């Protein structure tokens, strides 16, 4: 992974939309089934909205039925960081971008094989970089 990115609150506000800022910098959550990627099946790599770090490969995305994009593993070890979250009288594991500390969502132990994990992310925290088009012509 690359060096940490640190910006002032004003810099983040200038860079992000109000929804992205609320989710990424203030640890908000978008409403279920409203995010642009909750039902996307497009190939590519999901990167951090704030800093562009690769986070999840679309090949690990699955339909969890929750209304948020869900993945069974990050693109590589160290792409995301985890912290205990005790907000709203719950005990959960928050998932952050390891490069800029953007709030991405939470991880739960009820996902599919092979990991058994469900990284339940906010679309506002992600940008999909489409897979390169195949240049081969038949």
Q: What is the pLDDT at residue 112?
A: 95
Q: What digits encode the pLDDT tens for the residues 109-119?
A: 999 999 999 99
Q: What digits encode the pLDDT tens for the residues 45-98?
A: 999 999 999 999 999 999 999 999 999 999 999 999 998 877 766 777 899 999
Domain residue extents for the chain: 9-130
Among candidate residues 24, 50, 51, 120, the one labeled active-site is: 120
Annotation says 120 is catalytic: yes
Q: How many CB atoms lie within 10 A of CB 27?
A: 16
Q: What is the pLDDT at residue 91?
A: 79
Looking at every residue in the chain, the average pLDDT score rounds to: 92
Average pLDDT over residues 25-52: 96
Locate 103 and state its tokens.
């709030």
Whether residue 28 contacts residue 2, with contact meaning beta carbons closer than 8 Å, is answered with no
Q: Say how far apart CA 113 and CA 54 lie, in whole Å.
A: 22
Q: What digits encode the pLDDT tens for the residues 83-110?
A: 887 776 677 789 999 999 999 999 999 9
pLDDT for 135 beyond 50: no
Domain spanning 9-130, CATH class: mainly beta
């Amino acid at each position: 992974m690359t060096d940490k990115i640190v910006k002032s609150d004003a810099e983040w506000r200038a860079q992000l939309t109000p929804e992205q800022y609320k989710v990424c910098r203030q640890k908000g959550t978008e409403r279920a089934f409203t995010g642009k990627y909750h039902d996307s099946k497009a190939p590519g790599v999901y990167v951090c909205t704030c800093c562009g770090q690769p986070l999840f490969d679309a090949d690990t995305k699955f339909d969890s039925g929750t209304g948020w994009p869900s993945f069974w593993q990050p693109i590589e070890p160290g792409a995301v960081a985890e912290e205990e979250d005790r907000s709203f009288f719950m005990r959960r594991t928050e998932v952050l971008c390891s490069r800029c500390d953007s709030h991405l969502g939470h991880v739960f132990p009820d996902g599919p094989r092979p990991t058994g994990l469900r990284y339940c992310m906010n679309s506002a925290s992600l940008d999909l970089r489409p897979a390169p088009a195949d240049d081969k012509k038949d």
